[in-house]
Amino acid sequence: MFRSEDVPAEERFDHWRKLLDQSRSSKVTSSYAADFRAECRRLELGPTTVLAMSCAPARYRRSTRMVQYSDAEQYHLSLLLDGEAELDHAGRTHVFGPGDWHLVDNSRPYDLRLADDGGGRGAKAVGLDLPKALLPIPSHQVHRLLGRRLPGHEGIGALLTEYVLGVERQAGDLRSVDAPRLGTVVLDLLSTWIAQLLETEAAIPPEARHSARMESIMAFIRRNLHDPCLTPPAIAAAHHISLSYLHRIFRQHTRGESVAAWIRRQRLEGTLRDLADPALRDTPIHLIGTRWGLTRASDFTRAFRTAYGLSPRAFRLQAFSTYQSPATRP
């Protein structure tokens, strides 16, 4: 984690340039170099790296000479979360706004400019660095996507957006042993998405397509946990697969856990968080169950007790007792 505020003002810009040089060298210029504000969190997920960044307005130019001097043979995929950017790359010029992905081949020159709103706000983005050799699509085909605006609002693109942002948000709770698995999922989603954009799905290994489909199914379930009609047949129908196929791939992915058991566990974990949330302490317990698709109070209580060894009411009382200060405790 890098924070410019941890560095003396006169050294911040140099620190930022040196940080970026670790993955790709470029000439960086900025009107705010005298007191450059920036943050960067780097997550190494096996061979894939996630970079969460925010920085003041600046210009990043990677020349042909820089490519010849330093070429790590990487693709960089970036999702703009805030601000505006203009990119010249692979013979194309595009302007990007929040919610847009763009793909860069670090083996080619580029010129990236972050818009200046006059107040030094700059941009916020999440990026992915990955070795080009890991993407199972020929580079001459990937070239068609370089520098273009790639939509992250639907399909696999939306799923990749949701997954990468979720990994970044939970960075503080992740263990190092989780990194390779998370990196594999990111790579499978990315490969599948790019293949769809290029209409070359046949190039993707079956395991990657299987992984992307499972992540899509699980994301669908998480979005619909509130719906009491969320059942295995409904899930299979929504994804145009047979019920038997859904059960088979789910057990393979979860190491034996059934679809219904996974849904129940996700719902109960949701109620567990809500019952311990001080902001919801006045919400009736049966309504908390209902908002997670557990509409029958007796079934909710029984399932909760089986999973956690005490009733929802007892758990809430126990959780809130920890919020009392010593002076207010009985």
H or E element, residue 302: helix 297-308
What is the rounded distance in angstroms from the CA atom of residue 186 to the CA atom of residue 84? 25
Around Cβ 174, how many Cβ atoms within 10 Å?
14
**What global pTM score does this model have?**
0.75
Q: Which fold has domain 224-330?
A: Arc Repressor Mutant, subunit A (1.10.10)
CA 261 to chain centre: 25
Residue the block writes with tokens 């989603």: 189
Tell me the DSSP string of 118-150: SSS--EEEEEEEEEGGGSSS-HHHHGGGBTS-E
Q: How confident is the model at residue 178 (pLDDT cuts 50, 70, 90)?
A: confident
CATH number, domain 2-205, options 2.60.120.10, 3.40.718.10, 1.10.150.120, 3.30.540.10? 2.60.120.10
Q: Please give the DSSP secondary-structure letter assigned to residue 133.
A: G
The model's pLDDT over 2-58, given as tens digits with 9 standing for 90+, comes to 999 999 999 999 999 998 888 788 999 999 999 999 999 999 998 899 999 999 999
Candidates 255, 182, 254; CA nearest to 217 is 254
CA angle 227, 232, 236 (to 5 degrees): 105
Residues 281-329 pLDDT 10s: 999 999 999 999 999 999 999 999 999 999 999 999 998 886 554 444 4
Cβ pair 215, 185 in contact under 8 A: yes
Q: Say how far apart CA 41 and CA 53 lie, in whole Å.
A: 7
- pLDDT tens digits, residue range 114-124? 999 888 888 99
What residue spans define the domains of the chain?
2-205, 224-330
Half-sphere exposure in the Cβ direction for 145 (13 Å, CA)? 26
